[in-house]
Amino acid sequence: MRSRLFFANMSTVVRRALLILARGAEEMEAVISADVMRRGGIDVTIAGLNESGPILCSRNVQVQPDMELTEAQEKGTYDAVVLPGGAGGAKELSSSAQVGKILESHWKAGKVIAAICAAPTALLAHKICLGMKVTSHPSVKSEMEANYSYLEDRVVIDDRLVTSRGPGTAFEFALAIIEMLCGKESANKIIPPMMLKD
């Protein structure tokens, strides 16, 4: 598939991903995504929305971002923007004009946009990729299906847009991002050490 091999011919270059962490985010989706992408060779910046200190996530786990989002923006354009879900986190992402501008500029620049669980609602809120194929957590399906081509696959890829369903699909979600940015070989080689099922 063209979408899966979008950046594969440039796999020798270190790719950069911006993961935006908001209060109320689903911590599994944030940490698993960042961890797996880093294992796959992606330079991941975890950026706190509106704060640089520890962020309280949906299950009362605090996650320390690398820096605040405005500081992360100063480092230029990333190869992928990644949005973890969680109902509270998705609302924060949806209501942030800063997030909307980042998503719009990166999409227009030909970069990957990835959102999991409830986070695809932020795409809807900022009118990103309307009409494209997506999935999400079932709890926000009704919000999404009127404006997108909605599927219930565990991970859905449409061109440079990657969406997924929830904590249990976070590994597959992150691996799909690695495959798009670094190629299938980079994704496949980290599966055995993590003891993931085929």
The set of catalytic residues is 117, 137
> Could you count the other beta carbons within 10 Å of the beta carbon of residue 138?
11
Alpha-carbon torsion, ordered 134, 163, 51, 108, to 10 deg = -70
d(C-alpha 6, C-alpha 9), whole Å: 8
Helices (H), the chain: 27-39, 69-73, 87-95, 97-108, 120-125, 141-145, 170-182, 184-189, 191-194
**Residue type present at position 7:** F
Could you tell me if 29 and 116 are in contact, meaning their C-beta atoms sit under 8 angstroms apart?
Answer: yes
* Residues 6 or more apart in contact with residue 197 via CB below 8 angstroms: none
d(C-alpha 11, C-alpha 3), whole Å: 15
Written as six digits, the tokens of 176 are 């799909």
